[in-house]
């Protein structure tokens, strides 16, 4: 079955710097890759997703890139702000299946 | 407001005392799922349901039961809780299984002593 690895487990950056979180997946049939943000005391919330027919997707300060050949995808946050501090989860799935497989999470801390 | 609700939010119980965590969604979603979150292990799926009366095991189903008698509700039942079930639990729902956004509840922190 699908396995998703996520790195790093913790990431500390200065406000205004960029942050990058990387994930690799094992099943080449996976075609849907969402990213979830979990703020303290809350459930995860989708922030951006990408499908395998697209190499990059951007939404204001966040972007996701996908390399199907290498089977990895990354979350990029530019101009980080303290409110970006949270745990981020990547995940992988495919059309027609009943599961979303999550990575182990990255705790991002943005220092003012 | 579209949401997934869970109750209780916090629960401390003793080994062997049956408990139920309720989950309800108001988005008419077909798919519902339960996850547990443990440090360093991410979100692991316990059980899921594709529709009413259709449930199936996830990756860590041992010690848990679920039911889906109505579309909006998906309770998680621990018949005889043990300390290794101490965890943070999330219910989630989505339009359908797989490649769709999942909407998560606020979480239930369970401690079994």
Q: What is the pLDDT of residues A35-76, one digit of tens each?
A: 999 999 999 999 999 998 889 999 999 999 999 999 999 999
- What is the distance, to the nearest Å, from the Cα of residue A86 to the centroid of all Cα atoms in its chain? 12
Q: Do B42 and A98 touch (CB under 8 A)?
A: no
What is the interface size between A and B, counted as CB pairs within 8 Å?
A: 62
pLDDT at position A50 is 94
Q: Do B41 and A31 touch (CB under 8 A)?
A: no
Q: Do B99 and A51 touch (CB under 8 A)?
A: yes
Q: Do A98 and B56 touch (CB under 8 A)?
A: yes
Nearest to B99 among A9, A46, A94 (CB): A94
- CA A38, CA A89: separation in Å to the nearest integer? 8
Kindly identify which residue of chain B lies nearest to residue A87, measuring between CA atoms.
Answer: B42
Nearest to A93 by CA among B45, B15, B76, B20: B45
Average pLDDT rounded to a whole number, residues A16-36: 95
Say if CB B63 and CB B78 are below 8 A apart: yes
Kindly identify which residue of chain B lies nearest to residue A105, measuring between CA atoms.
Answer: B42
Tens digit of pLDDT per residue, chain B (113 long)? 889 999 999 999 999 999 999 999 999 999 999 999 999 899 999 999 999 999 999 999 999 999 999 999 999 999 999 999 999 999 999 998 878 899 999 999 999 99
- Confidence bin at A94 (pLDDT 50/70/90): confident
- Binding-face residues of A in 64-103 toward B, CB within 8 A: 89, 93-100, 102-103
pLDDT at position A63 is 98
In the predicted structure, residue A96 carries a pLDDT above the cut 80: no
pLDDT at position B100 is 86
């Amino acid at each position: 079955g699908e396995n998703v690895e996520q790195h790093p487990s913790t990431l500390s950056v200065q406000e205004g710097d960029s942050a990058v979180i990387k994930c690799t997946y094992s099943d080449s049939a996976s075609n849907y890759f969402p990213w979830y943000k979990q703020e303290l005391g809350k459930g995860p919330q989708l922030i951006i997703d990408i499908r395998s027919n697209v190499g990059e997707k951007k939404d204001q300060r966040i972007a996701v890139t996908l390399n199907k050949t290498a089977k990895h995808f990354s979350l990029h946050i530019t101009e980080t702000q303290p409110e970006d501090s949270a745990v981020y989860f990547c995940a992988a799935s495919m059309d027609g299946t009943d599961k979303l497989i999550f990575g182990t999470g990255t705790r991002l801390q943005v220092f003012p | 407001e579209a949401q997934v609700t869970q109750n209780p939010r916090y629960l401390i119980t003793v080994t062997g005392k049956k408990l139920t965590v309720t989950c309800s969604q108001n988005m008419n979603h077909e798919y519902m799922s339960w996850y547990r979150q443990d440090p360093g292990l991410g979100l692991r799926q316990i059980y899921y349901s594709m529709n009413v009366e259709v449930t199936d095991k996830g990756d860590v189903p041992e010690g848990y039961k679920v039911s889906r008698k109505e579309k909006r509700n998906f309770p998680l039942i621990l018949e005889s809780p043990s300390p290794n079930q101490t965890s943070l639990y999330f219910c989630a729902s989505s339009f359908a299984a797989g490649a769709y956004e999942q909407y998560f509840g606020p979480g239930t922190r369970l401690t079994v002593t």
